[in-house]
Structure 1
Amino acid sequence: MSYRDDIPMLDCGEEAEPFYLKRGVHIVPIYALTLIVEIPIRAPGQTFCNWDIREKLKTFVHPHELKDLKVIESCNEYIKFTTHVLNIDIMDEVITLLDNRTFRAPGFESVLKVLVRVGGYPCPKVEDWQKHFRGKRLKEDEPGERPDTVYVAGLPYEWFAPNIGDDVTSVMLEVMSAFGKVRQIDIPQEDPYRSDMEKDIAGLRLTWFNGSFSPFFEMYVQYTDYDGFFAAMTKLGGHQLVRRTASGVLSEYQYTLEFDKTGHLSNRIMIQRELARQCIIHRRRKEAEEKAQKDAEAVVELKKVNKERNNIENKIKVVIEQAGRQRECAEELLRKKLKDKKRHQANVRIQESENLLKFLLVDEVVRIEWEKEQRKRPADKIKEYVKAKQLPGEDDLRQKLMKKREAEIRAEVAKRKFNPNPSSKSDENDQLPIADNIKSDLTAPTPYDAHQRRKQMLRDCRSRRRKLLKEVGARLQRYRTKFKEEPIFDRLKLAPPEALKKSININIKTTNLSVNGVESQSNNAS
């Protein structure tokens, strides 16, 4: 495929010259214009804006475009702008539209006038390098110390070496050889050690944001003879790069062209640069070795730290496991204690309930027994008392009393028969034994007296029972208030008194109640 088939054609006019045909890059002259806007006299304190004037100038040449229109000088009398256009035809039209044109702008009472001058783009000329090297003793036999090196900056990588693996040095050597035989070429951006060198020998003039990779590069081209140098300076001076992309957009870049004033490619600077490169390589190698050693030491230290950390973690894990086992044992012991406590509390409540039930049922048993005693007839009670005391029968007792009384009467009759006139004092002495006997007979215990004693004992029991019930009710009320409807009885305080303690057997299923010791108590009472 030919160049004309894969590279879009330019419409910049006949002035476009090929620069790098493989990528469709051309150079075209920069048609520079200088616009001078004369400012009329204005009142003190009156202000204006250069931006408004700049926008006015752009509208006057529409639909043409004024590229890179910027202010280069401003004073009270005039404002100087510089710009350029694409080709000479557009330049002629712009001159026709703007030269000697008057207009009004905000901030001015009078009109402003525009003057157009051709040129104004800075470009080195023969007089410039002759003047520079005239003050020095030219060394025709030493390259770099004479006018033979061209400095070009601002060339885009994308147009000459779009891929990372492309050798931009060989590409530019091929391009610049079109003007003459090249002795050597130097691109500082291609040297990885150049950024660490001193500025006067590094040759780096382009800077980019934060030191990152720049999309532009610069180069120093040294020709073997003056003719090549002169041809490059004259052909490239006052031109710019243009290229039409595959999408049809016409792109252009302005590069900077100068002759080398620093002797960048002279033997003196090259030797210094080579020594600086070797020093940098040695320093970087030493830094790499030190870094590798530090990294190795850091790895050893890290392994040691990791080992210590693992040991500490293992110890912590063991301690945590021991603490966990201890906690489990403590929790198990606590659960066991709580279980035993609940069991003990339940047993205590059962015992207290039984004690309270016994205490409440004792009086009931006593009452039942008393009612049984009351229902018995007096004769039966007397018989039971006599039987319990093992006393003689009533008939035998009556006979004995009658015999005793009969004997006493007989003795008294006999005394009166043998002593018919006894004195009163003797009579009284004789009558005392008989009175004492009668009194002892009258005061002797009878079954009726036993019955009265039983009634008195029953009344005492009832009174004691009422007192105990009242005291128990007060205690229960106190405990219910304290424990909030959870009655807990004190078995020691609620236990029946010693006088009423009896062994009671309760069978809840059969509802049988048996009391030991009641009969004996009843018998003793009777």
Structure 2
Amino acid sequence: MTVTVVYDNSEATELCAAQHLYLKPIAKLMINVLLPESPEPSRPISNWEVLDQLKSLICPDQFTTVRLAKSTRDFIRFEGEAETRSLVQILKAKLHGKIIKLNGLETDLKVTVTDAQGEWECFPKENGATPMGDGSEEQDHDKSPNSIYFEGLPCKWFAPKGSSGEKPCEEILRVVFESFGKIKNVDIPMLDPYREVITSGSFGGFNFGLQTFEAFIQYQESTDFLKAMKSLHGMKLMLKGNDGKALACNIKVMFDTTKHFSEGAIKKRNQERLKLQELEEERKKAKKREEEKAERKRKEERKVQEKRRKARVKRRTQKERDRHRQRRQKNSAKVEAQPGSNSSEDLEKRKIPLTQTQLEALYLMRALLRKIADCSPREHCRAFLIPLQLPTLEHNTWNSK
């Protein structure tokens, strides 16, 4: 499955204009180069040397792609692809029957070319039907095939426009292939989240950076089914952009031999899907129970941690209080250890001089006031200039007065 740029789309036919999808003929050649009959040639023959000779024979025309298909003692086979089928015929005329001469090799190599469009797989013989059935009105799925299996369809080409993802859409797939006739069923396994688990497989891949998907399409009428198969035979899927550029993708188209849309197959898929859904529900419930259990455990752990934190804070606070109390006790003991520092007798002794000074000041004020009251106004000034002669009194005298 390869994606190539299309430079000449003159042979393309429209498949679905709404999705800009077209069918482009596959233009391939099978090129066989016959080797000498001698079992021991004079020198080894290089495949790439032979390919260079083939390219020189078709010059100035070129292959779109060319690859080594098979190499044996009797022949070397290359598969070449051209842009159009008309160009294939030109290349075939240039190569068929030609002779290649290699340096150091006495025998010439003969080239033969055949078209390589591929053949359909045969219908299952046990079904008793042929691709060109008589078109009887009542045809059973088990008796006449009416389903197509697709592989390698690019997801992006069948995704809704403007969507952020690249998941294909069943409705778009239906619209694209209804150009051949009325479609009864469409199934894209990639869109079923349980299908990969059921089949233990994958329903997609990557094709040169493009994600691809598988699909099953069932037509209502066998004639429409045959029409689709004939139209898709030997064709590529081509996407034409708004800018005129086009890409072509090889897709695999086969008769559905698995009876994908039979009642038994559908019933089996539904039963398996229900089982998986039940298992998923059980897993969700179990997961929820585990989460609730874990949440309860976390809450209990937080409570234990909070209790431990409070206990640490309480112990720290108590230690601080004990240190402060011890510090105060030590300071008190130091002060008491000093001689006469805080005894009641020392306090009384310090109070006596203070009291005596206060009484002397009070007596002096009274004496001054009496002196002022007894003197005349002229003598008032003199009274302030004459120093007072106060007797020295003992403590007991002041107390008595």
With the length of structure 1 as denominator, give the TM-score of the two structures.
Answer: 0.51
The residue that corresponds to 1:129 in the other structure is 123
Task: Report the number of matched residues.
Answer: 308
C-alpha distance in 1 between matches for 2:285 and 2:194: 18
Q: Structure 2 matches for 1:86-165, cutoff 5 A?
A: 86-105=83-102, 108=105, 110-118=107-115, 120-124=116-120, 128-129=122-123, 131=125, 133-134=127-128, 142-143=140-141, 146-161=144-159, 162=161, 163=163, 164=165
C-alpha distance in 1 between matches for 2:54 and 2:283: 59
The residue matched to 1:71 in structure 2 has which SS?
Answer: strand
C-alpha distance in 2 between matches for 1:311 and 1:97: 93
Give CA deviations for 1:294-315 in whole Å, capped at 9, x if unaligned. Answer: 1111122223334444555666
Change in CA separation of 1:172 and 1:314 when aligned onto 2, cut-off 3 Å: same
Aligned counterpart in structure 2 of residue 24 of structure 1, from 20, 34, 52? 20
The residue that corresponds to 1:183 in the other structure is 184
* Equivalent position amino acid for 1:12 in 2: N
8 Å CA contact retained: 1:148, 1:225: yes
The alpha carbon displacement at 1:72 in A equals 2.8
8 Å CA contact retained: 1:28, 1:242: yes
2:214 is the counterpart of 1:218: yes
The alpha carbon displacement at 1:288 in A equals 0.9
Change in CA separation of 1:312 and 1:25 when aligned onto 2, cut-off 3 Å: same
The residue matched to 2:18 in structure 1 has which SS?
Answer: helix
8 Å CA contact retained: 2:205, 2:213: no
* Equivalent position amino acid for 1:176 in 2: F
C-alpha distance in 1 between matches for 2:144 and 2:61: 44
Change in CA separation of 1:107 and 1:232 when aligned onto 2, cut-off 3 Å: farther
* Equivalent position amino acid for 2:147 in 1: T
C-alpha distance in 2 between matches for 1:74 and 1:312: 80
C-alpha distance in 1 between matches for 2:107 and 2:214: 48
Deviates more, 1:109-118 or 1:46-55: 46-55
The alpha carbon displacement at 1:18 in A equals 0.6
2:74 is the counterpart of 1:77: yes
* Equivalent position amino acid for 2:47 in 1: N
8 Å CA contact retained: 1:223, 1:229: yes
Give CA deviations for 1:252-296 in whole Å, capped at 9, x if unaligned. Answer: 101001001111110000000011111111111111111111111
2:240 is the counterpart of 1:239: no
8 Å CA contact retained: 2:190, 2:204: no
The residue that corresponds to 1:253 in the other structure is 249
C-alpha distance in 2 between matches for 1:94 and 1:59: 12
By relative contact order (CA 8 Å, sep 6+), the higher-ranking structure is 2
Give CA deviations for 1:171-193 in whole Å, capped at 9, x if unaligned. Answer: 11122222122111111112122
8 Å CA contact retained: 1:236, 1:257: yes
Unaligned runs of 5+ in 1: 1-8, 333-526
* Equivalent position amino acid for 1:66 in 2: F
2:285 is the counterpart of 1:289: yes
C-alpha distance in 1 between matches for 2:314 and 2:210: 59
Change in CA separation of 1:11 and 1:187 when aligned onto 2, cut-off 3 Å: same
* Equivalent position amino acid for 1:133 in 2: N
2:167 is the counterpart of 1:173: no
Change in CA separation of 1:90 and 1:289 when aligned onto 2, cut-off 3 Å: same
The residue that corresponds to 1:274 in the other structure is 270
The residue that corresponds to 2:385 in the other structure is none
8 Å CA contact retained: 1:144, 1:222: no
The alpha carbon displacement at 1:25 in A equals 1.3
Greater radius of gyration (CA): 1
* Equivalent position amino acid for 2:188 in 1: I
C-alpha distance in 1 between matches for 2:212 and 2:50: 33
The alpha carbon displacement at 1:316 in A equals 6.9
Change in CA separation of 1:284 and 1:68 when aligned onto 2, cut-off 3 Å: farther
Identity %: 22
Change in CA separation of 1:51 and 1:81 when aligned onto 2, cut-off 3 Å: same
The residue matched to 1:215 in structure 2 has which SS?
Answer: strand
8 Å CA contact retained: 2:26, 2:85: no
RMSD: 3.8
Give CA deviations for 1:413-457 in whole Å, capped at 9, x if unaligned. Answer: xxxxxxxxxxxxxxxxxxxxxxxxxxxxxxxxxxxxxxxxxxxxx
The residue matched to 1:235 in structure 2 has which SS?
Answer: helix
C-alpha distance in 2 between matches for 1:205 and 1:233: 25
The residue matched to 1:95 in structure 2 has which SS?
Answer: helix
8 Å CA contact retained: 2:149, 2:217: yes
C-alpha distance in 1 between matches for 2:166 and 2:241: 22
C-alpha distance in 1 between matches for 2:224 and 2:99: 47
C-alpha distance in 1 between matches for 2:177 and 2:35: 46
Unaligned runs of 5+ in 2: 1-5, 328-401
2:37 is the counterpart of 1:36: no
Change in CA separation of 1:30 and 1:69 when aligned onto 2, cut-off 3 Å: same
8 Å CA contact retained: 2:127, 2:144: yes
